[in-house]
Structure 1
Amino acid sequence: MAAGKDDLDAYGIPVVPAPAGAASRKRRAIVDAALTEFLAEGYSAASMDAVTARSGVSKATVYKHFGSKERLFLAVIGDVLRKTCADLEPAGQAIAAAPDLRSALVRLTTDRARILLRPDVMALRRLVIGEIDRFPQLGRLWCRVGHDVDDGPLVEALTALDARGDLAVPDPKLAARQLVAATVGVPQLVRTFSPEAEIDEAELERVIGSGVDLFLARYATGA
């Protein structure tokens, strides 16, 4: 489930529409160029002149669409977050109905890890962390997207599993966060602060399998 327009508006994040007309295409070109510039230089050192040159539009057009460097930065982050969320498929019903719960959880967390460990997403994560004091709304949005939007279907699945007696999950929201932390969170933490670290498929499989086993041992009925 992707963050919608209302979600972004609540955090003061300008929404970037799909490039249907000339104005939307220019707006899209500006955001794409700004993403490249912000990731390369950071917020403070990023140049609006460079964004203008990369996008192929005039500086007046850039300011007409976004008004300021700050609003352009917010639009860039919101745009990438929305796209990333769209790649994360809701899995609530599939998890609750899976004949092999362990395999389903491994598949879910592995798919999520492959998306969240992409170089572009990791670079964005580092950028947001570096600018969190200047733009606290970005941190709140990141948590909103991660905890409420992405984890929502998983919380529903854990609630259903608890009701059926397949697992004993008194706090499904906390359990969902623990599952993500024990699986996706391990390689994500490494890659956040060591961008050069290589996490191959065998290591990812080992970490995620171990994290899922830890989770199932904790929430097994009678544990």
Structure 2
Amino acid sequence: MQPSPLPSASERRQRVHRAVRELLAEQGFRISMDAVAARAGCSKQTLYSQFGSKQGLMQSVMRERLDLTAASLDRHGQDPRQTLIDFALEHLEHLCEPSVVATCQLLSAEAHEFPEQAQTLYRDGCDTLQQRLASWIENAMRKGQLRHDQPHLAAELLLSMIVGLDFERQRFAVPHRARPSARRQWAEYAVDAFLRAFATAGVPPAATAPLLQNN
């Protein structure tokens, strides 16, 4: 019998990232490099060699997630409405994962004990996502696809519209938009409302479909 092929560098990285995500939901800010190494099946020295530090490891995990969420913003030639809907759907799907809800609940509860780590996590996650969306919006404004305004504030507004109250519903264990069809209709509603608010002169508002129930 031939020996199993060694995992590629990408597979090893994915295994480490998966270990970090799992441990964050279980241990919050108390996660250690020892715990990650044990869960991922590698040595702590390997982690330090590959990521440099615990902060570098966390940044790598956050960067991977942000790249997935913001992938539609990097596509060229796509209709702006479809770009934002794809972005919204990816973001909502991520926030609908039970492990993400558990992680956010735990990290929120511990933030006052680990203020520096909490601020770094926010900067590398939420703040960076807002900046990437703001850059796309600013470019769309430059092209005349959106009305000129403050792109950073517009990005914050759009993110708030996309998430709505659904993440809070999950945190408090009440019915939410668990079905992809419900999330899609909400994403379309939020994006179309945003596009109407920032429409340039002469651009007709997009038509919206009636909303489904949360679940």
For normalisation by structure 1, the TM-score amounts to 0.61
Equivalent position of 1:147 in the other structure? 130
1:194 to 1:19, Cα distance in 2 relative to 1, 3 A:
farther
Alignment partner, residue 3 of structure 1: none
* Residue 182 (1) aligns with residue 151 (2): no
Question: What is aligned with 1:54?
Answer: 39
**Percent of matched pairs sharing the same residue:** 22
Check whether the contact 2:131–2:152 (CA below 8 A) recurs between aligned residues. Answer: no
TM-score calculated relative to the size of structure 2: 0.63
**Given the alignment, which residue of 45, 49, 64 partners 1:83?**
64
- Give me the whole-angstrom Cα distance separating, in 1, the residues matched to 2:75 and 2:40: 42
- CA offset at residue 187 of structure 1? 2.8
**Equivalences, count:** 187
Pick closer, same or farther for the CA change 1:93–1:62 going to 2, 3 Å: closer
Deviation per residue, 1:45-90 (Å, 9 max, x gap): x577755643445xxx437855xxxx53x34532321111221314
Letter in 2 for 1:89: A
Q: Secondary structure at the match of 2:126?
A: helix
1:145: Cα distance to partner? 1.8
Going from structure 1 to structure 2, the CA distance change for 1:78 and 1:92 (only over 3 Å counts) comes to closer
1:37 aligned residue: 23
**Structure 1: segments with no counterpart, 5+ residues:** 1-17
- Alpha-carbon shift at residue 160 of structure 1 (Å): 1.8
Distance in 1 between the 2:61 and 2:16 partners? Answer: 14
Q: How far off is 1:30 after superposition?
A: 5.9
Paired residue type of 2:141: L
SS at match of 2:29: helix
Out of 133, 151, 156, which is 1:172 matched to?
151
Question: Residue 6 of structure 1 corresponds to which residue in structure 2?
Answer: none
Q: List gaps (5 residues or longer) in structure 2.
A: 1-6, 203-215
Residue pair 1:91, 1:154 contacting (<8 A) in 2 also: no
Give every structure 1 segment of 4 or more consecutive aligned residues whose post-TM-superposition deviation is greater than 6 Å: none
Pairs within 5 Å for 1:72-221? 72=54, 74-87=55-68, 88-91=70-73, 94=76, 98=79, 101-133=80-112, 134=114, 135=117, 136-161=119-144, 166-191=145-170, 193-194=171-172, 197-199=175-177, 200-221=179-200
Deviates more, 1:123-132 or 1:172-181: 123-132
With a CA cutoff of 8 Å and minimum separation of 6, indicate the structure with the bigger relative contact order.
1
